[in-house]
Amino acid sequence: MLAGGLLLFASCSKDDSDTEQTKDYVQLKTGNYWVYRLSNVDTLGVETITDSYDSVYVSGDTTINGNVFTKKYHTWLFYSNTPDCLRDSSNYLVSPNGRKMFSPVNFSDTLIKSYNVISYTDTTTLDDDTLFFYFYKMSDKGMSLTVPAGTFITMDFKGTFIPYGSYANALKTIYSHNYYAKKIGLIQYSSTFANSRTQMVWKLVRYKVN
């Protein structure tokens, strides 16, 4: 995770009305697709647009532990080995391990709370060490965001990565953002390399949703 970058992607009370539906924001019908273009943003906020793209498409369903999940594939190499398997459960987007990945109605609770660990090769002299504690919450409901595909009203599944212990002085808090727009899906997402502090931002270029 440290070598390739931190993929920053990823509690039941509700503080909004139930008129909002997860299915309207995640758009998991087979045949839907989204194309994103990669920008690199340095520590000064300077953005460099690249020629790299990630095409994301919904391929169908699979059953895991008795539950039906939708398979969502990426074509960019770093993401493309296995699909994201997701399902809508009680107005939450849920992964096979039970993690809540998004909710349009719960902006109060922490949906994910965990930590990143460095695994050392030489275990005879060094133990595994915690690099970041992190948590995800819903944020910024009603935020207007412009990407190449247009301007959308969004809400953010926001990740906060806080360096721990000896890393607290060497690293800074990292934020990840996953912006969803109603009837469109995910329109922008980001990940950050912990060692270089360069952020990768994927912005929606075009899409097709049924």
Q: What is the CATH number of the domain that holds 94?
A: 2.40.360
pLDDT in tens, 23-51: 999 999 999 999 999 999 887 888 999 99
For residue 126, pLDDT beyond 60: no
pLDDT in tens, 56-85: 999 999 999 999 999 999 998 666 668 899
The whole-angstrom separation of Cα 155 and Cα 107 is 10
**pLDDT tier for residue 154 given thresholds of 50, 70 and 90:** very high
C-alpha dihedral, 27 to 30 to 34 to 35, nearest 10°: 170
Residues in Cβ contact with 90 at an 8 Å cutoff, skipping those fewer than 6 apart? none
Residue 196: its pLDDT value, please? 56
Mean pLDDT of 93-117: 92
For residue 127, pLDDT beyond 50: no
160 within a domain of the structure (yes/no): yes
17 within a domain of the structure (yes/no): no
**pLDDT tier for residue 124 given thresholds of 50, 70 and 90:** very low
15 within a domain of the structure (yes/no): no
Q: Please state which of the ranges 43-47, 60-64, 97-101, 202-206 shows the lowest mean pLDDT.
A: 43-47
131 within a domain of the structure (yes/no): yes
The total of structural domains in the chain comes to 1
The whole-angstrom separation of Cα 157 and Cα 137 is 6
Domain span including residue 193 = 22-208
